[in-house]
Chain A
Amino acid sequence: MVIGKEVKMRLHTASETISFAKELEEKSAKFYEDLAQRYSKDEDVLLSYAKENNKYFTQIQRAYYSVITDAIEGGYAFDLDPDDHTLDTELPEKASYSDALDKAVEIEEKMIKFYTVAADQSMSLMADVPRNFKIVAKKRKNRIQQVKSLA
């Protein structure tokens, strides 16, 4: 958190940050589901990404539920601007598959940034939660390579 600075409309609490992570994962999953419909060539792999997103969120939520105690500064664990991490998943109707994959890489990079920043901010407070943020960020880095190889 930023000390000595009054901020508004930012994410401070663990609860809202975990919910925000869920929003991002769901939005990204929806993006891959839409992609799978439009580009049936790689339907299976694209749908597997959507499924993985749900797994990632479950992993993070489980970590949060496992370590949250009222002794931990859960209400003050983060200072995130949601606007910095909002995903643009819109794809023009005439977008090529290559354009779509570029968009996927862009989404993955934003997700990695979100998890990395959130992990850094909560490192000393939330025990297992930042570790799981980092694990998900790492998995997404691997996914970027996979997405690029689909092109």
Chain B
Amino acid sequence: MTILEEPIKGVPMIKNYIDGEWVESKGDIIDVVNPVNCETIAKVGISTKEEIDDAVKAAQEAYPDWRATPPVARARYLFRLKELLEEHFEEVSRVQTQEHGKTIDESRGETRRGIENVEVACGIPTLMMGEFSEDIASGIDEYLIRVPLGVFGIIGPFNFPFMIPLWSAPYAVATGNTVVVKPSSEVPCSQSKIAELVDEAGFPPGVWNVVNGGRTVVNGMLDHPEIEGITFVGSTPTARDVIYPRCGATGKRVIAQGGAANFMVIMPDCNIRGTVPALMTSFFGNAGQRCLAGQNIIIVGNDDKFYNEFMDAVTATTKGIIIGNGLDESVQMGPVRDTQKKETILNYIESGLKQGATLRLDGRKAEKIVGDYPDTCFLGATVMENVTRDMKIVTEEIFGPTMGVMKAKDLDEAIGICNENPFRNADAIFTSNGKDARKFQYECNCGNVGVNVGIAAPMAFYPFSGMGNSFYGTLHTQGKEAARFFTESKVCIQRWL
């Protein structure tokens, strides 16, 4: 058992990064707590409206010069940032584990995907190329230029403190905009570290700002007339009822990614040996706290022998999951982020049981936590059978290490269950039959589809999609769609007389 060294030491104060300066917040100070041992690892300010206004002002002032910087030169800043992120790869990964609780493999995966977005944004000279039509009429040409808009707000969630703001920020600045990033106040350390590297990469002051805080900062962004658009990742109620309508009301562009309750459809011809580890990662990776996580499996067919064999394999492997401190390299599942989230998950399990589900594996009390940490934020992996489509554990997002097990008589019924769910973020099928896989991909109305892949996480050069209650907006983060979101099309028709 090797426990890696913690990178955050001595309870630092996480400051705002505004106009190229580190500024301590004037707002209330709260603790950043490591969920493994409930120790305070840092302190952070809940910034005031004046502070978000300062950041937007700095971003606005930096915009004209930054916009006038050639895209190829802007890309070079990002190349430098990418190099620095690679150099600090291990450190930033451990910061994520320390502030969030996820395992070190998960954090390194998060770091890699974050860096991949910086890499893709480095291709901005190509990504934001315009279009040209010669002779649309005699002697008249028409062309399209993709122009940046100004200041964008980027609001990050708690579950991927490093990666998710990087689904947006690199594209925003690469296209010539300036940004204000607001990390989750529960996990502000990763974005602070990124800002340090942004600073070291030499970005001009005001181009990339970070303001810590909560609702006041979010409201300040939503109401600010100088913010052109917002990207948000968080819960569906906030995405649907706050971010999306208020961006509409103030004329802002918006990408609002919400929650999920994803299905993994298991066909009797699946490769069990390959499927079970994929399910472990899907349901219990990041302690179930990700919008691509599986929430329920649907076992197709009436083959009891297959059902029992499959569930025996799933249960035995789930039982063996090693729980503990994510900096312990042997650990496969860390704690959930905090006690409130743990309580919510426990309530969902109780509601499932009340509605008729049965426990195949009871993870309500974490047993065998490696390293004897307090179980305050820890849960074991829970597997519930006899789950039906009307239960809250199917129709609502749990966001924890639970697996519900449903049955469907055939693939059509399974697809029907997926499609009637209000969330339609990511569903997957496990099968060795190409025709069934194609039917699933074609008929399943969700944004991200997995075929024998439990976490259908789009690479940085594809949009991070989502449908239904999982997504509010038109364009998505990442890749070409992000480049499109952060630019407006200017069309010019030209004639020389």
A: residues with CB less than 8 A from B are 1, 3-7, 11-16, 19, 64-77, 124-125
Contact = CB atoms under 8 A, between A and B. Distances in A.
A12 B1 CA distance: 12
Contact of A65 (B89, B106, B453): B89
Contacts, number: 101
Contact of A69 (B89, B278, B280, B457): B457
B2 A16 contact: yes
Interface string B284-316: 011000101000000000000000000011001
A4 B280 contact: no
Nearest to A15: B329
Contacts of B277: 1, 3, 73, 76-77, 125
Contact of A66 (B112, B290, B329, B332): B112
B273 A68 contact: no
Given A69-B112, A72-B109, 11 more contacts: A3-B272, A3-B316, A4-B312, A13-B331, A65-B112, A70-B290, A71-B453, A73-B277, A75-B285, A77-B277, A125-B277
B113 interface: yes
A75 B457 contact: no
12 contacts: A3-B272, A5-B316, A15-B103, A15-B104, A15-B105, A69-B457, A70-B286, A71-B456, A73-B277, A75-B105, A75-B106, A76-B317
B139 interface: no
B316 A74 contact: no
Contacts of B333: 75
Interface in B382-440: none
A77 B109 CA distance: 14
A6 B316 CA distance: 6
3 cross-chain pairs, A with B, having the tightest CB-CB distances, nearest first: A70-B109, A74-B105, A16-B329
Contacts of B456: 71
Interface residues of B, number: 40
A21 B341 CA distance: 37
Given A7-B320, A13-B105, A65-B108, A73 B312 contact: no
Contacts of A76: 277, 280-281, 317, 332
B240 interface: no
B187 interface: no
Nearest to B273: A3
B274 interface: yes
Given A3-B276, A69-B457, A71-B455, A12 B112 contact: no
B19 interface: no
B280 A75 contact: yes
Contact of A70 (B272, B278, B285): B285
Interface string B337-352: 0000000000000000
B144 interface: no
Contacts of B105: 13-15, 68, 74-75
Given A3-B276, A71-B455, A12 B109 contact: no
A20 B287 CA distance: 25
Contact of A73 (B280, B286, B331): B280
A67 B459 CA distance: 12
Given A4-B316, A19-B2, A76-B277, A68 B108 contact: yes
A16 B4 CA distance: 11
Most buried by A among B89, B329, B453: B329
B238 interface: no
B80 interface: no
A13 B137 CA distance: 64
B481 interface: no
Nearest to B457: A71
Contacts of B40: none
